[in-house]
A and B are shown apart, each in its own frame.
Chain A
Amino acid sequence: MEDALTLILAGISVGSVYALIAIGLNLTYWTTRTMNFGQGSVMMLGAMMTAVLVAGGVIDALAALASLVVIAAIMVFTEVFTVRPALKIGGSMGWAVSTLGVGIILQGVAAKYFGSQAVAFPDMVFSAQDYVEVFGVRFALQYLAILVLSVALVALLELLLRRTVWGRAMRAVSMDADLAAVAGIPVRPIVLGSYIASGLLAGIAGMLIAQTGGTVDPAFGFDLMIFGFVAAVLGGIGSSSGALLGGLVLGVIEKLVGGYVSTAAAHGIAFALLVVVLVARPQGLFGQREVVKV
């Protein structure tokens, strides 16, 4: 029983990581129906730049801030020079290829200037030894921080979307960008804003995750991004609370399968779950069906 609790808590921990990534991916999906396939590299860059700057003697917070500023610039670049032109051209998924390309560029740049070997990431918020006890089982504060952040972000996003002018504008853009533009809503800033916000979330996620593992290297983030996608789809693309739940469900299932069935099967089962959900409920476990008009 204690095992089960340990596994569930571990599942919630990694699940909140997936959720955080999925929430970031969702943001751009709302505004442009695209997701940044280079998100893994953005996470990597956030963590790796911070680590390198800290190693070079910069204060933690300043290093993190500098990295986030760079990320924001990269996201603007990505939107303006790859996503938007790709969407203009039409064709179904050109943006996937071009954002993936940006991700590879970032990875190459990081390998060139920071080296391809893993660099240590400093303990910024909590260390691996910090924990709280939940029914006699340790729950690491590093993960708790991620979980709290994810939940807070979901609450904040829901609040922003429902209660503020910007939120309503964003929803309008999400429904129909052309119509929103006609209605005088500043579509461009909203789209750019969603990309920047998505990047910042990814950057923060990268730092928090690198901290739990202790290191970061240029290839960091890609696998996590895939699980972020899975979480987003499980929860229902476009729903931030869905992304949170999707991430947690994915994490817990993965850990329970790993703990009780086979660790080798854990990833495979996560992907199989994705296929099953896509077939049975394309709108996701917690999402609402998009009405298709003929």
Chain B
Amino acid sequence: MSSSATTAPDRRAPSRGAEPDPRPAPPGAGSPAPPGKRRRFFLTDGWGALALPIAGYLLVVLIVPLAIVFARSFTDPTLGLGNYAAFFASPIYTDVLVNTFVTAITVTLITLLIGFPYAYLMTIAPPVWRSVLLVVVLVPFWTSLLVRSFALVLLLRDTGAINETLLSLGLISDPITMVRNFTGVLIGMVQVMLPFMVLPLYATMRGIDRRLLQAAEGLGARPAFAFWRVFVPLSAAGVAAGSLLVFIQSLGFYITPALLGGPDDVMLGELIVQQVSTVLNWGFASALAAVLLIVTLVLLAIASRFIDVRRIFWKEQ
């Protein structure tokens, strides 16, 4: 997202556009310049040089391959817009693109709904319980995505543990279909994505001065009202950061939907892998990847009209 490392040496601190940046320089951008004086370009600053290795690394492993992918989408197998014409000619690809975004947005909203109270609980829990809650949310990081997806199938399928139990207890007469459909995809993806929502939320909430809530209540606000008008707005940066992380990562999923979803829950990642590995049509695969990237960037651009993306990443506590 931050293109600051690759922009031409701008005299100002890493600001992405031409408009002056009224905010203070981000952490790590060197010593704050005296007011009224221009700040030094951070890369020429002694500390800023620490960013050069990662910038070089990203150039080699991200920017260059991305450029090749873009180029290939216009040149393979023949020069022109053929790959993009093929994309829009068949309803399958646009349907799958829409499905990809619908899935990613739904997953983001559900993780937010679950993650927000969870992160809040972490901020008010005593230290021991806070550690327990943290471990619980981190467990997914320590187990293989594939193993978890297979395990979920065993648990959720029609003849799985949950349905067998409910059936034997007589609570249901027919198994509830929870896997190989959209429900299965959501259960699987939310479970994977939850840490990416909870951790930024927790980091933000921990920095909120709880005395502000007391102050609001002291001024006559009911607790719920104070929470809604004071705490929630102050946690907005965490909400935006978590949502962004979850949304972007969800767009690229394909193993989980392939294992837990039904035939119509295909996401674009799955079609890209198929084009790369099975059909060997790399030009078309590149075009699929380019479309996904461009649509994502456009959505982010629109979102940044309403959310200050820079503030999410550079917010000073």
Asked if A and B bind, the verdict is no
B residues at A contact (CB < 8 Å): none
A residues at B contact (CB < 8 Å): none
